[in-house]
Structure 1
Amino acid sequence: MPTSRRIDVVLLAVAVVWGSSYLTAKTATDALPVPTVLFVRYAVAALACAAVPRRRGGPAAGPTGGLTRDEKAYGCLLGLTQAAVLVLETYGVAHTSAGNAGLIISLTLVLTPVLDRVALPGRFFLAAGVCTAGVGLLVSGNGLRAPGTGDLLMLAAAVVRAGHVVLVGRVTAGRALRPLQLTAVQCAVGAVLFLLPAAPGLPALARTGAATWAQLLYLALFCGLFAFLAQTWAVQHTSATRAGLLLGTEPVWALLVGTGLGGERLTALSVLGAALVVTGTYWGQSVERAHRRLAPVAADEGVPRSAGTGVSRAR
């Protein structure tokens, strides 16, 4: 049984990788069309999924040779929702800064418990409100203004991602779904979905430089394969709400990468907004953790446990 700390470290690693993905995706979409970037990201990840088990146990252990009916069905479903998240995120980051994109997506923190229908204490929603205020300051730049197209696309991505996180928890609860096989199906679904839209831009891949290919491989293997697999595994062993809280640190990493490597500028309001996001995320995490610890005690005393406070482990 994995420890709580080990699960948290895995989810935090996913947050770091995804936080760095915004600048990577923004740079890649400067060289290639968005559908082409998404197709290569999914196709390479799908091939990697098929290759990993062969090194361990031969072809018979490969994800395509031993998929169960549930892994096919739920993998396709999760593949559709994950693809929806990525298409919104990638088009969004192409029209806003990498820092803003990663920070706006932190609204997943607010939406996940709502969609997961978790009866959390009011303090959690105060923490979520702090995060929301922080995102508002980050979007405002040098002064209050309406969100741009990229910002709105990232807001939509936050809604869909929250639904995806909850869905992962629901469909994996109590089912014998193996993370690698489930991830392989998701990647295959994404590759199929983006093949036709990407077709006009595929010839450009032959003229793509090494730097862009490095970015595509990073998006596929680290932001795709590793992140999808790690997220699925971790959510199987913790609550969807807790996963959303830890993944909520993603905007901090996005901001650090965007400013440190991408040369994006921070205003005074941006700094204040980032501080509010960090404060709200860690405050909310502590509230959710305390609530989960008290839930079994309440159940033992005859108090009904809140729906969604935990995700059953797949056997």
Structure 2
Amino acid sequence: MSDVRRTDAVLLLVAIVWGSSYLSAQTATAALPVLLVLFARYALSGLACLGLVASGRGPRRWTREEVRAGVPLGLTQAAVLVVETYGVAHTTAANAGLIISLTIVLTPLLDRAGRRGGLPAAFYAATGVCVLAVGLLMSGNGFHAPRLGDLLMLGAAVVRAGHVVLVGRLTVGRAIRPLHLTTVQTLVGTVLFLPAAATDLPTLVRADGATWAQLVYLALFCSVFAFLAQTWAVQRTSASRASLLLGTEPLWAVAVGIALGGEHLTALTGLGAALMLTGTYWGQAVERAHRTAGAPRPLESRPAEEDPACRTTTLTNT
């Protein structure tokens, strides 16, 4: 297998893992309280990250910049996962994966808030397509009051977009090691969720093997593995190529929800899914072209990690 194909395969695997995470989170929260699931996921991820830091080469101590960035990003990351996990517990895995993809078009909007120079009209048209798609996804079998889970996932998309913008503000141009930053975030999340989950810890200990398998999958595969694999891959390809492959995540969320979760799309939600994918890919392409036109050198010649769409310093997927 060539290096290009190997890199593409790794990025596609990351998208598949993240797409499957919504059904895993839904299954885990059906057996355990949401806050207990989040504590277990953070604690397992934190232990794995600490092990990787201890076994790695180079300095193991955290710098001040890594701690200063990691603590606030740990707080915002925890906010993202709280809203996401409560949301996926009250909607379908397919809807969760599709609605959260709104982050792709919300992030540039928030990032440019208060700055000179707006985005092209085509970007706002793409955003409008996504908004229409959300309405159709929330309609289910017909138009009715939005479901709680769908509204929570909509809120999660807004919070995640804000988190991604904050990542850029706190990390760009600074000597911050992704693994060390992620370790700080996971430890912050573990500390945050421990008090809320403390009374339910006996329930966690008594959980059956299937539930523990979901928790381990969420922590080690959907978080630690996916993060490290993405970091490795985007250093070996272009930002546009990585963004395109990682952008298939909602497709896998739908596929896993239907194939393994027994979910189904009605005519309205099927149309909503198609519009959401169209709108997010269109908006992503317009934003990238607009950013490239204003860049001093072609985007493809930059390191992939300079592209906000491929920034790899946090674990934000459910």
How far apart in 1 are the matches of 2:266 and 2:36?
34
What is the number of residues matched between the two proteins?
Answer: 297
- Contact 2:105/2:284, CA 8 A, preserved across alignment: no
User: 1:51 Cα deviation (Å)?
Assistant: 1.0
How far apart in 2 are the matches of 1:148 and 1:284?
26
How far apart in 2 are the matches of 1:114 and 1:142?
31
- Contact 2:23/2:257, CA 8 A, preserved across alignment: yes
Relative to structure 1, is the Cα distance of residues 298 and 70 closer, same or farther in structure 2, using a 3 angstrom cutoff? closer
SS in 1 for 2:294: helix
Partner of 1:206: 205
User: 1:148-202 CA deviation, whole Å, 9 max, x = no partner?
Assistant: 2111211111111000111112211100000000000000000000001111221
Segments of 5+ residues of structure 2 without an aligned counterpart are 299-305, 313-318
Partner of 1:110: 105
- Contact 1:11/1:243, CA 8 A, preserved across alignment: yes
Q: TM-score, normalised by structure 1?
A: 0.82
Segments of 5+ residues of structure 1 without an aligned counterpart are 300-308
Aligned counterparts, 1:179-218, within 5 A = 179-218=178-217
SS in 1 for 2:261: coil
Relative to structure 1, is the Cα distance of residues 245 and 92 closer, same or farther in structure 2, using a 3 angstrom cutoff? farther
User: 1:285 Cα deviation (Å)?
Assistant: 2.6
Aligned counterparts, 1:137-216, within 5 A = 137-216=136-215
How far apart in 1 are the matches of 2:242 and 2:161?
10
User: 1:76 Cα deviation (Å)?
Assistant: 0.6
Q: TM-score, normalised by structure 2?
A: 0.82
User: 1:282 Cα deviation (Å)?
Assistant: 2.2
User: 1:32 Cα deviation (Å)?
Assistant: 0.9
- Contact 1:34/1:90, CA 8 A, preserved across alignment: yes
Partner of 2:223: 224
Partner of 1:81: 76
Percentage of matched positions with identical amino acids: 66
User: 1:298 Cα deviation (Å)?
Assistant: 9.6
Partner of 2:66: 71
Aligned counterparts, 1:276-291, within 5 A = 276-291=275-290
How far apart in 1 are the matches of 2:229 and 2:169?
17
- Contact 1:172/1:236, CA 8 A, preserved across alignment: no
Aligned-residue RMSD, C-alpha: 3.3
Match of 1:100 among 92, 95, 99: 95
Aligned counterparts, 1:218-297, within 5 A = 218-228=217-227, 249-296=248-295
- Contact 1:137/1:270, CA 8 A, preserved across alignment: yes
Relative to structure 1, is the Cα distance of residues 153 and 33 closer, same or farther in structure 2, using a 3 angstrom cutoff? same
SS in 2 for 1:296: coil
- Contact 1:85/1:161, CA 8 A, preserved across alignment: yes
